[in-house]
Amino acid sequence: MDYQKLSKDILKLVGGPENVAAVTNCLTRLRFNLRNESKADDKAIEALEGVSGIVKKGGQYQVIIGTDVPNVYNAMAKLIGDADQAVKSDEKMKWSDRLIDTLTGIFTPILMPLTAAGMLKAVLAVLVALKLVDSSAMTYQVINFMADSTFYFLPIFLANSAAKKFGCSPMLAMMLGGILIHPNFINLVNAAKDGGPAINVFGLPIYAASYSSSVIPIILGVWFMSKVEPIADRISPKAVKFFTRPLLTILVSGIATLCVLGPVGYVIASWIGTVVTTVNTYANWLVPTIIGAVLPFLVMTGTHHALTSIGINNRMTFGFDTFIYPGQLASNVAQGAAALALSLRSKDKATKEMSWANGLTAIFGITEPVLFSITIKHKTNMVAASIGGAVGGFFMGLLNVKNFSGGSPGLLTLPSYIGLDAPMSNFYLACAGAAIAFVVSFAVSYVLNRPKDGSPETAGKEEPSAPTAKSGSNPGTGSQILCAPLKGKAVPLSQVDDPTFAEEIMGKGGAIIPEEGKLYAPCDGQIYTVFETGHAVTMVSDQGAQVIMHIGLDTVKLEGRYFHIHVKEGDRVKTGDLLGEFDLESIRKEGYDPVTPVVVANTGDFREVRAKAGEVRPGDPWMDLT
C-alpha cells in the first residue's frame, strides 16, 4: 500500500488541510474533526483502495483503514504539520457527543503504550506460569518495571493527550502530571498518612492522596489549565510574557489541582469503584453481558473508546477489571466466529476470503475490518455476534473473571487474565468464556446463513428485523410504489448521520428532512408496531412490504415528548391517512436531527428498492419497489 498517496488522497477528499481542525488515529481509524463536514466527499473516500468505510458520529469524521492506519496517519501528519492539534471547530455538538468526542480524543492516542504495557505484562505472566522465569529473578524485575512504566506515569501520558484535546500547552500539562507523581509529593503523602504533618501550600490544605496510575484527577487538572492559560496570556505584559505566562499557568493550575481538582477526581474514582463493587456483588454478570451484546454497535460509531477509561480506572483502583474487558473479549471473539461460519457457508469467493481473513483478525482483537466489511452487511452475523458475545460475557461475569493488564481484547491477550497472585483458574475461565462465545456465535451464524431456496449466494441477506406480513397480505408479488409520508426534502439513506441507516443495516430505502410535523401512511396496509415513545411506526403494506418509519435520529431519548401518534397496532390504514404528529421545532431545539429514514426491512423480497431525491409532499410517488 502506498501510504503517502493514500494520505494525500484522503486529505484532499476531506476538504484539504484547511478543513481539518484535528486528526488522530486509533487502532484502525483516522479520526478527523472537520471544520465543515459537508466538504468531505464520502463516496470518493470509500472508493479509495485501502479504505474500508467511513463513520460520522459524535462530531468526528472517521475513515476506517485497518491495521495499517498508523502508517497512513504518520504520512498525513507530515502533510498537515501538527496533526493532533487542538480542535478549534465552531461546530456545536450535543453534550453527550461532546463527552464521547473528548474521551475518545484523550484515550485514543495512549492506546499504543497501554497495549504495549498490557502485552508485556501478559508475556511476563506466561513466563512465570510456565516456570521459565522466577518472580524474584532480575529478568522478571526488569520486564515488570518496563510494563509498569505506562501505568505509573499514566497521568503524564493523559496530560499530553488531554492538553491537545482541550487546547492548552502539552508541555505544561505534562509538568502538571509530573507534579502529581513526583517522589517528594508521594513521600509527603505517605508521611501524612503515617501521622506526620499535614500537607499545605500557602495555608491551603492538600489532601493526602496518591495519583500515580490515576485517570480522572489529571483530566480535571488539564481542563482547568485550559481555562487558566488564556487568562495568564491576556494579563501578562508583552515584554515578559514568555516568563509570566507559564509561571502563572502552572502555579495556579498546580495548586488548584493539588488542593481541589485532584481530590475531587480521587473521590469520583472511588465512587466509581464503589458502584463497580456494588454491581459486582449483586449482579456481576450484568455489565459483561450487555457489553458482549452491544459492543459491535458501539464500535460502529466509535464510542467504544469511552469504555476505556472505566476499564483503566477499575484496574488502577482494584488491580483488575471484571466489567469492560471480559465483555469485550467475548464480543470480539464472537464476531470473528460469526465471520468464519459465513466463510464456510458462502459460495461467493470474495465474501469467503474476506470473512476468513477479517474473522481471524477479529478473534485476535481487532474487529473494525470484519465489522464494516461483513457484520453490518449480513444481519445474520450481527445477530450471531450479539448472541455469542452476550452468552460469553454472561459466563465470565457470573464467574467474576478478572483482567489484570488490558490490551486489545482477543485471543492474543488471554495471558492478561493471568495474575501473579491469582489462581490459574481465572485464566482457564477466561479461555472457557472465549470458547463459549466462539461456539455459540459460530453455531448461530452457521444456522442463520444456511442456503435458501437452493441458492447459497443469498445466505445472510434475508433476515428481516421488523414486521412479517400478516394474513391477507401477498408478500413479494410484483412492483409497488410507496408514497412520501412527509412534506420535505428527500435524500439518500447514505446521507443520514447514523450508520444503522446509512449502511442499510435495517434495509434499503430513503430519508426525508421534514418541513412540517405530520406523518402520513405511505401505502395501504396494516399498522404493525407503534413504539411507546412515538418516534417510530412500522407497517406492512397489502403487497407485503415491511416499512419502518423512524422520526429523527436518537429521538427515542426524548421518551415520547413532542410525539403524538393517532394509530395503534393492528389498525388498517389507507395511503395518505394521518398516522401521527410531532413538534418539529421542539425536536430541533433539543438538539436532535429530525431527518426521517423510511426503510423496507424485507429488502431481500424485492429486486430493487429505489427512492427519488428532491422536494416531496405527502402522497407523492416516492419509492419504487420492484
Position 468 scores a pLDDT of 41
Residue 136: half-sphere exposure toward Cβ, Cα within 13 Å: 0
Does 93 score more than 80 pLDDT?
no
Other beta carbons within 10 angstroms of residue 576's beta carbon come to 14
Q: Is the pLDDT of residue 555 over 60?
A: yes
Separation of first and last alpha carbons in the chain? 41
Angle between helix axes 95-107 and 154-166 (nearest 10 degrees) is 130
pLDDT tens digits along 142-174:
998 998 898 889 999 999 999 988 888 899 999
Domain extents in the chain: 3-91, 153-268, 286-458, 480-625
Q: What DSSP string describes 40-73? A: S-HHHHHTSTT--EEEEETTEEEEE--TTHHHHH
- Decide if pLDDT at 606 tops 80: yes
305 part of the active site = no
Q: Catalytic: which of 26, 168, 483, 523?
A: 26
Q: Give the tens place of pLDDT for each residue, 353-383.
A: 778 888 888 898 888 778 877 887 788 999 9
Q: What is the mean pLDDT of residues 400-422?
A: 84
Q: Which of 486 and 452 is assigned the larger pLDDT?
A: 486
Res 507 pLDDT > 90: no
Q: Which of these ranges, 41-45, 229-233, 277-281, has the smallest mean pLDDT?
A: 277-281
Please state, in angstroms and rounded to a whole number, the distance separating the CA atoms of residues 288 and 403: 12
Q: Note the pLDDT tens digit of each residue in 270-329.
A: 887 788 778 878 888 999 999 999 998 887 766 676 677 778 778 877 888 898 899 999
Rounded to two decimals, what is the model's pTM?
A: 0.56
Of all residues in the chain, the percent with pLDDT exceeding 90 is 41
Cβ count within 10 A of residue 148 = 16
- pLDDT bucket at 473, cuts 50 / 70 / 90: very low
Q: What is the pLDDT of residue 43?
A: 86
What confidence score (pLDDT) does residue 370 get? Answer: 82
> Which residues are CB-neighbours of 597 under 8 A, at least 6 positions away?
493, 496, 498, 501, 506, 509, 510, 511, 548, 549, 550
List 431, 483, 550, 566, catalytic entry:
550
Q: Give the range among 33-47, 188-202, 366-380, 545-559 with minimum mean pLDDT.
A: 366-380
Domain 3-91 has CATH 3.30.1360.60: yes
pLDDT attached to residue 223: 95
- Is the CB of residue 381 less than 8 Å from the CB of residue 343? no
Query: How far is residue 304's CA from residue 202's CA, in Å, rounded to a whole number?
Result: 43
Cα-based distances in Å from 266 to 12, 180, 214: 44, 12, 8
User: Is residue 378 annotated as a catalytic residue, yes or no?
Assistant: no
- Residues 579-603 have a mean pLDDT of 91
**pLDDT greater than 70 at residue 24:** yes
Query: Taking 90 as the threshold, does the pLDDT of residue 474 lie above it?
Result: no
| pLDDT tens-digit series, residues 72-82 | 888 887 787 65
Under CATH, to which class is 480-625 assigned? mainly beta
Residue at 174: amino acid letter? M
pLDDT for 97 equals 65
564 CB neighbour count, 10 Å cutoff: 11
Mean pLDDT of the chain: 84
Q: Strands 572-573 and 508-514: what pairing?
A: unpaired
Going by pLDDT thresholds of 50, 70 and 90, the confidence category of residue 529 is: confident
